Amino acid sequence: MNDGSALTPRQQAMVELWEAHLRAEFDDFSLDDTMATMVDEPYVNHVPTLIGGIGRRQLAHFYGKYFIPHMPPDTETEVVSRTVGVDRIVDELIFRCTHTTPLDWLLPGVPPTGRRLAVAIVVVVTFKDGKIHHEHIHWDQASTLVQAGLLDPTGLPVVGSEAAEKLHDPRSVPSNELLKRSVVDEEL
């Protein structure tokens, strides 16, 4: 990951603001500090579940009632890579936790399963006027459902925590295992 030395002052300010936003959400559990990093009319969309909000009122309600107070105590995020552009940051990260509290943004309507989750996530954060304008958060919902025990991967072209494990360490999980189910190829 880039140490920040090649970033412009504007890019460095974006990184610092984004990291303050993440601290407010995941370390300090502060709705006020989270919202302070955002424009007056922010937008957040968790793409696989269409959960988040448009506008300060709706987004603050979502963050304050369904996101920030429900982070399991063992939640951790690991940034695997970061790309910093002119007006956006793209983080590739791994979200890990034990599903001990409702995670309505990730598994809406699913009671806590007690299962360990490791989810590979891509967050696209766009900035406007020195604040966070919007976030698009992407992940593979099938791998999340497999880990939560809600989807049996048998016979399906899906995986569970292996997706996050391979992102963390490419050699930790063999490549092409799903492909080998349907093709004969000694090179795989």
For residue 162, name the pLDDT band (cuts at 50, 70, 90). very high
pLDDT > 90? residue 1? no
Mean pLDDT of 83-88: 98
Cβ partners under 8 Å of residue 74, min gap 6? 96, 97, 98, 100
Mean pLDDT of 87-108: 98
Q: What's residue 185's pLDDT? A: 87
- What percent of the chain is modeled with pLDDT above 70? 97
- Quick: pLDDT tens for 115-126: 999 999 999 999
pTM of the model: 0.91
pLDDT > 90? residue 186? no
Q: What's residue 188's pLDDT? A: 82
Q: What's residue 72's pLDDT? A: 97
CA distance 25 to 169: 26
Secondary structure of the chain: what % helix, strand, coil (to 5)? 30, 30, 40
Cβ-in-10-Å burial (0-12, 13-18, 19+) of 173 comes to middle
For residue 140, name the pLDDT band (cuts at 50, 70, 90). very high
For residue 4, name the pLDDT band (cuts at 50, 70, 90). low
CA distance 111 to 20: 30
pLDDT > 70? residue 170? yes
- Quick: pLDDT tens for 25-78: 999 999 999 999 999 999 999 999 999 999 999 999 999 999 999 999 999 999
Q: What's residue 96's pLDDT? A: 98
